Protein backbone atom coordinates (compact mmCIF):
# COMPACT_ATOMS: atom_id res chain seq x y z
CA UNK A 1 0.00 0.00 0.00
CA UNK A 2 2.84 2.39 0.88
CA UNK A 3 4.43 2.02 -2.57
CA UNK A 4 1.05 2.37 -4.27
CA UNK A 5 0.44 5.60 -2.33
CA UNK A 6 3.89 6.88 -3.20
CA UNK A 7 3.20 6.21 -6.89
CA UNK A 8 -0.13 8.04 -6.67
CA UNK A 9 1.51 11.01 -4.94
CA UNK A 10 4.23 11.15 -7.58
CA UNK A 11 1.57 11.14 -10.33
CA UNK A 12 -0.33 13.93 -8.57
CA UNK A 13 2.85 15.97 -8.28
CA UNK A 14 3.49 15.31 -11.98
CA UNK A 15 0.14 16.91 -12.83
CA UNK A 16 -2.45 14.13 -12.62
CA UNK A 17 -4.43 15.95 -9.92
CA UNK A 18 -7.55 13.79 -10.30
CA UNK A 19 -5.73 11.01 -8.44
CA UNK A 20 -5.87 13.08 -5.26
CA UNK A 21 -9.49 11.95 -5.01
CA UNK A 22 -8.21 8.43 -4.23
CA UNK A 23 -6.28 9.73 -1.21
CA UNK A 24 -9.30 11.70 -0.02
CA UNK A 25 -11.64 8.70 -0.34
CA UNK A 26 -9.22 6.45 1.52
CA UNK A 27 -8.48 8.81 4.41
CA UNK A 28 -11.46 11.12 4.83
CA UNK A 29 -13.14 8.95 7.47
CA UNK A 30 -9.94 8.55 9.48
CA UNK A 31 -9.19 12.29 9.31
CA UNK A 32 -12.76 13.17 10.32
CA UNK A 33 -12.63 10.67 13.22
CA UNK A 34 -9.43 12.01 14.71
CA UNK A 35 -10.68 15.59 14.37
CA UNK A 36 -13.99 14.67 15.99
CA UNK A 37 -12.28 12.86 18.87
CA UNK A 38 -10.19 15.94 19.57
CA UNK A 39 -12.83 18.62 18.96
CA UNK A 40 -16.05 16.81 19.95
CA UNK A 41 -17.92 18.97 17.44
CA UNK A 42 -19.39 17.37 14.33
CA UNK A 43 -19.56 20.59 12.30
CA UNK A 44 -16.03 21.67 13.25
CA UNK A 45 -14.64 18.22 12.45
CA UNK A 46 -16.34 18.17 9.02
CA UNK A 47 -15.17 21.67 8.16
CA UNK A 48 -11.62 21.07 9.35
CA UNK A 49 -11.44 17.71 7.55
CA UNK A 50 -12.02 19.57 4.29
CA UNK A 51 -9.43 22.14 5.29
CA UNK A 52 -6.91 19.39 6.13
CA UNK A 53 -7.24 17.86 2.66
CA UNK A 54 -6.91 21.24 0.96
CA UNK A 55 -3.85 22.03 3.08
CA UNK A 56 -2.35 18.59 2.38
CA UNK A 57 -2.90 19.08 -1.35
CA UNK A 58 -1.24 22.50 -1.26
CA UNK A 59 1.72 21.10 0.70
CA UNK A 60 1.96 17.77 -1.13
CA UNK A 61 5.25 18.86 -2.68
CA UNK A 62 6.73 18.86 0.86
CA UNK A 63 5.83 15.19 1.45
CA UNK A 64 9.18 13.45 1.98
CA UNK A 65 8.26 9.82 1.12
CA UNK A 66 9.89 8.71 4.39
CA UNK A 67 6.64 7.98 6.21
CA UNK A 68 3.21 6.83 5.16
CA UNK A 69 0.76 9.36 3.75
CA UNK A 70 -1.53 8.26 6.60
CA UNK A 71 0.97 9.48 9.21
CA UNK A 72 1.59 12.71 7.34
CA UNK A 73 -2.08 13.63 6.97
CA UNK A 74 -2.83 12.61 10.58
CA UNK A 75 -0.10 14.98 11.73
CA UNK A 76 -1.70 17.77 9.68
CA UNK A 77 -5.13 16.93 11.13
CA UNK A 78 -3.90 16.94 14.73
CA UNK A 79 -1.99 20.19 14.29
CA UNK A 80 -5.06 21.75 12.65
CA UNK A 81 -7.32 20.64 15.49
CA UNK A 82 -4.95 21.94 18.15
CA UNK A 83 -4.59 25.24 16.33
CA UNK A 84 -8.36 25.49 15.97
CA UNK A 85 -8.84 24.92 19.70
CA UNK A 86 -6.27 27.56 20.59
CA UNK A 87 -7.91 30.11 18.30
CA UNK A 88 -11.36 29.35 19.66
CA UNK A 89 -10.10 29.48 23.28
CA UNK A 90 -12.80 27.19 24.48
CA UNK A 91 -13.16 23.77 26.01
CA UNK A 92 -14.65 20.91 24.12
CA UNK A 93 -18.42 20.64 24.24
CA UNK A 94 -20.41 17.47 24.02
CA UNK A 95 -22.85 17.14 21.21
CA UNK A 96 -25.21 14.21 21.49
CA UNK A 97 -28.28 13.26 19.59
CA UNK A 98 -31.12 12.47 21.98
CA UNK A 99 -31.98 8.82 22.02
CA UNK A 100 -35.49 7.47 21.74
CA UNK A 101 -37.11 7.49 25.16
CA UNK A 102 -37.23 4.10 26.79
CA UNK A 103 -40.34 3.56 28.84
CA UNK A 104 -38.49 1.17 31.10
CA UNK A 105 -37.40 3.33 34.06
CA UNK A 106 -34.39 1.14 34.82
CA UNK A 107 -33.08 1.45 31.25
CA UNK A 108 -33.62 5.23 31.27
CA UNK A 109 -31.72 5.57 34.53
CA UNK A 110 -28.85 3.43 33.23
CA UNK A 111 -28.75 5.42 29.98
CA UNK A 112 -28.65 8.73 31.85
CA UNK A 113 -25.85 7.48 34.12
CA UNK A 114 -23.86 6.28 31.09
CA UNK A 115 -24.37 9.61 29.32
CA UNK A 116 -23.19 11.50 32.40
CA UNK A 117 -20.12 9.25 32.69
CA UNK A 118 -19.34 9.73 28.99
CA UNK A 119 -19.68 13.50 29.37
CA UNK A 120 -17.36 13.53 32.40
CA UNK A 121 -14.79 11.37 30.58
CA UNK A 122 -14.85 13.46 27.40
CA UNK A 123 -14.66 16.69 29.37
CA UNK A 124 -11.68 15.37 31.33
CA UNK A 125 -9.94 14.32 28.11
CA UNK A 126 -10.66 17.77 26.69
CA UNK A 127 -9.01 19.38 29.70
CA UNK A 128 -5.77 17.42 29.32
CA UNK A 129 -2.78 19.24 27.88
CA UNK A 130 -2.60 18.76 24.11
CA UNK A 131 0.43 16.44 24.25
CA UNK A 132 -1.42 14.00 26.55
CA UNK A 133 -4.78 14.38 24.82
CA UNK A 134 -3.27 13.57 21.42
CA UNK A 135 -1.72 10.27 22.52
CA UNK A 136 -4.86 9.23 24.46
CA UNK A 137 -7.15 10.00 21.50
CA UNK A 138 -4.87 8.26 19.00
CA UNK A 139 -4.39 5.20 21.19
CA UNK A 140 -7.86 4.64 22.65
CA UNK A 141 -10.20 6.21 20.10
CA UNK A 142 -8.25 5.71 16.87
CA UNK A 143 -6.60 2.50 18.14
CA UNK A 144 -3.18 3.29 16.74
CA UNK A 145 -0.16 1.35 17.95
CA UNK A 146 2.68 3.05 19.82
CA UNK A 147 4.77 2.97 16.64
CA UNK A 148 1.98 4.56 14.58
CA UNK A 149 1.45 7.28 17.20
CA UNK A 150 5.17 7.93 17.27
CA UNK A 151 5.15 8.29 13.50
CA UNK A 152 2.13 10.60 13.47
CA UNK A 153 3.41 12.85 16.26
CA UNK A 154 7.05 12.60 15.21
CA UNK A 155 8.12 11.40 18.65
CA UNK A 156 10.23 8.50 19.83
CA UNK A 157 8.10 5.49 20.73
CA UNK A 158 9.42 5.64 24.29
CA UNK A 159 8.10 9.22 24.60
CA UNK A 160 4.68 8.08 23.35
CA UNK A 161 4.55 5.37 26.03
CA UNK A 162 5.64 7.87 28.68
CA UNK A 163 3.01 10.44 27.66
CA UNK A 164 0.33 7.77 27.55
CA UNK A 165 1.28 6.57 31.03
CA UNK A 166 1.37 10.12 32.44
CA UNK A 167 -1.82 11.09 30.60
CA UNK A 168 -3.68 8.12 32.06
CA UNK A 169 -2.49 9.02 35.57
CA UNK A 170 -3.61 12.63 35.17
CA UNK A 171 -6.92 11.50 33.67
CA UNK A 172 -7.50 9.05 36.54
CA UNK A 173 -6.89 11.83 39.09
CA UNK A 174 -9.31 14.13 37.27
CA UNK A 175 -11.96 11.42 37.10
CA UNK A 176 -11.57 10.49 40.77
CA UNK A 177 -12.30 14.13 41.68
CA UNK A 178 -15.58 13.82 39.74
CA UNK A 179 -16.45 10.55 41.49
CA UNK A 180 -16.29 8.81 38.11
CA UNK A 181 -15.40 5.46 39.63
CA UNK A 182 -17.91 5.78 42.49
Q: What is the CA radius of gyration of the chain?
A: 19
* pLDDT tens readout for residues 94-118: 333 344 455 556 677 777 777 777 7
By C-alpha distance, which of 109, 110, 18 is closest to 57?
Answer: 18
Domain ranges of the chain: 1-91, 96-182
pTM above 0.85, yes or no: no
Topology, domain 96-182: Arc Repressor Mutant, subunit A (1.10.10)
Please tell me the distance from the alpha carbon of residue 87 to that of residue 124, in angstroms, as a whole number: 20
Question: Looking at the domain covering 1-91, what would its CATH class be?
Answer: mainly alpha
CA–CA distances in Å: residue 34 to residues 59, 108, 124, 129 = 20, 30, 17, 16
| Angle (CA) 87 89 92, round 5° | 110
* pLDDT tens readout for residues 9-67: 999 999 999 999 999 999 999 999 999 988 888 999 999 999 999 999 999 999 989 88
Amino acid sequence: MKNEEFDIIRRILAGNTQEYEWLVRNYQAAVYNVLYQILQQHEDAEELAQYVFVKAYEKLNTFNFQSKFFSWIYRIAINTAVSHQKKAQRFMRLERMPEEPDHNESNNERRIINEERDAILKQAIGELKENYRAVIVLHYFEQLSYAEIADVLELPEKKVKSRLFDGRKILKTMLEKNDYFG
